[in-house]
Amino acid sequence: MDVTTFLSALTGSFSQSAGKNPTVSIMEAGFEAAHMDVRYINCEVAPQDLANAVKGAIAMGWLGFNCSLPHKEKIIAHLDSVGESARLIGAVNTVVIRDGQLTGENTDGKGFVEALRTQRDPRDAQAIIFGAGGAARAIAIELALAGATSITIVNRTAARGQALAEHVDQSTEAECSFTPWESQYKIPEDSDLIINATSIGFSPQDDQTLDVDLSTFPTGAVVADVVPNPPMTRWLQAAQDAGCVPLTGVGMLVNQALVNAKLWTGETLDAAVMHRALEEALGIS
Ligand code: NDP
């Protein structure tokens, strides 16, 4: 390996553990296919080392980095500026370093919206979002900024769902409200975008599905899942069987990586190459 090249254009992730991270496979495959001398590495950064890790990235000329939990909120104190959606979401998962200046963005929701655009325009959507955690928050804000008309948050813990709905309603143009999650929840007929943004369907909850009356899926609606593995969750299979259009969490992950690479390098990488790399990394090809 040419070490000079290796150090000249680094990107990566500041994670709690330096274990296997599918984003490494996606980014490395994308950069390689584009013949770019850019690498992506996963670094274990303990919370107390975050400030030094940031200084190190600047000193080594990194183009930027991703932050996963527990750094997504704490990183904001180390940045020079924060993009609009990251400010509204209150969390940063992508940092761009340019001329020593650090800008924070949140690309979780942007990845979702870009994946959604392959099926429909988010404008005028009447969306139902199950969940009120980090993924739901990012998706709700980004959908609202992309022109969704109405968003209903449905969550197990009412206080969390209520707080998210009020925040989105007050800080964006979209109408956003909370509905308590009653057993066998009935999806309103006029919903045209229905999203599982909970962790149900993801290991160890991969044999479970949402407590929803599956006979109420409106035919033709886009039904999405944030869970990337397995791609076709029980939730998505039921939606497809009911005549809906399924959107897997794989697209969200790949599109997030595409948005990150564009922010860092200005280049649009090959989505198909990255899609295949992710499938291989997850063992689903
Ligand atoms: P959080 O822990 O922040 O939130 C989890 C949400 O799931 C909460 O709303 C929680 O409800 C709900 N939930 C969990 N278990 C249940 C259950 N048994 N019944 C009802 N509700 C439940 O997690 P994140 O938002 O960060 O992540 C959620 C999922 O999104 C994960 O599977 C993650 O892997 C995935 N993800 C995918 C991405 C992609 O690119 N494809 C990107 C980011 C995340 P309550 O508030 O009541 O606890």
Candidates 198, 206, 208, 226: which one to mutate for ligand 1, based on the most atoms within 8 Å of Cβ? 198
Answer whether residue 5 shows pLDDT above 70.
no
The answer for residues whose C-beta is within 8 angstroms of residue 96's C-beta and 6 or more apart is 63, 64, 102, 103, 105, 263, 264
Per-chain mean pLDDT for the chain: 92
Range of the domain at 274: 3-106+252-282
157 lines ligand 1 (CB under 6 A): yes
Q: What is the CATH number of the domain that holds 33?
A: 3.40.50.10860
State the distance from the centre of ligand 1 to the C-alpha of 131, rounded, in angstroms: 6
Q: What is the pLDDT of residue 207?
A: 81
Spell out a b/e string for 216-245, using b for 16 or more CB atoms within 10 Å of the CB, else e.
ebbeebbbbbbbbbbbebbbbebbeebebb
Q: Is 161 in the pocket of ligand 1 (CB under 6 A)?
A: no
**Closest ligand 1 atom to the C-alpha of 135?**
25
**Does 7 score more than 60 pLDDT?**
no
The label of the residue with tokens 């308590």 reads 180
pLDDT at 172 > cutoff 50: yes
What is the CA 274 to chain-centroid distance, rounded? 16
Looking at residue 206, its pLDDT comes to 74
**What pLDDT, in 10s, does the model give residues 132-155?**
999 999 999 999 999 999 999 999
Q: Compute the distance from residue 198 Cα to the ligand 1 centre, in Å.
A: 3
What integer pLDDT is reported at residue 9 of this predicted model? 67
Q: Are residues 74 and 186 in the same domain?
A: no
- CATH code of the domain in which 215 resides: 3.40.50.720
Residues assigned a catalytic role: 72
One domain, residues 37 and 155: no
Gap from CA of 149 to ligand 1 centroid (Å): 24
Q: Are residues 191 and 89 in the same domain?
A: no
Higher pLDDT: 86 or 19? It is: 86
Check whether residue 140 and residue 79 sit in a common domain: no
Please tell me the total count of domains within the chain. 2
Q: Looking at the structure, do residues 132 and 258 belong to the same domain, yes or no?
A: no
Ligand 1 pocket, residue 107 CB under 6 Å: no
214-232: pLDDT as tens digits:
999 999 999 999 998 888 9
20 and 82, same domain (yes or no): yes
- Do 70 and 140 lie in one domain? The reply is no
Judged against a pLDDT cut of 60, whether residue 6 lies above it is answered with no
Minimum CA distance residue for ligand 1 atom 20? 156
Q: Is the CB of 142 inside a 6 Å radius of any atom of ligand 1?
A: no
Domain shared by 219 and 95, yes or no:
no
Question: Over the stretch 11-63, which tens digit does the pLDDT of each residue have?
Answer: 888 877 766 788 899 999 999 999 999 999 999 999 999 999 999 999 999 99
Domain shared by 195 and 100, yes or no: no
Contacts of 214 (CB under 8 A, 6+ apart): 238, 242
Same domain, 232 and 117: yes
Contact 197, 227 (CB under 8 A): no
Any ligand 1 atom below 6 A from CB of 227: yes
pLDDT at 8 over 60: no
Spatial separation of the C-alpha atoms in residues 200 and 220, rounded to whole Å: 23
Does residue 240 share a domain with residue 148? Answer: yes
Single out the residue of 237, 258, 250, 255 nearest to residue 280, CA to CA: 250
Chain position carrying tokens 């290991």 = 203
3-state SS track over the chain: CCHHHHHHCEEEEEECCCCCCHHHHHHHHHHHHCCCCCEEEEEECCHHHHHHHHHHHHHCCCCEEEECCCCCCHHHHHCCEECHHHHHHCCCCEEEEECCEEEEECCHHHHHHHHHHCCCCCCCCEEEEECCCHHHHHHHHHHHHCCCCEEEEEECCHHHHHHHHHHHHHHCCCEEEEEECCCCECCCCCCCEEEECCCCCCCCCCCCCCCECHHHCCCCCEEEECCCCCCCCHHHHHHHHCCCEEECHHHHHHHHHHHHHHHHHCCCCCHHHHHHHHHHHHCCC
Answer yes or no: do 126 and 142 share one domain: yes
Ligand 1 centroid–CA 132 distance in Å is 8
**For ligand 1, atom 1: residue with the closest CA:** 133
Please tell me the residue having the least CA distance from ligand 1 atom 29.
199
Q: How far is the CA of 102 from the centre of ligand 1 (A)?
A: 28
Choose one of 156, 207, 252 to mutate for the ligand 1 pocket test, by most ligand atoms within 8 angstroms of C-beta.
156
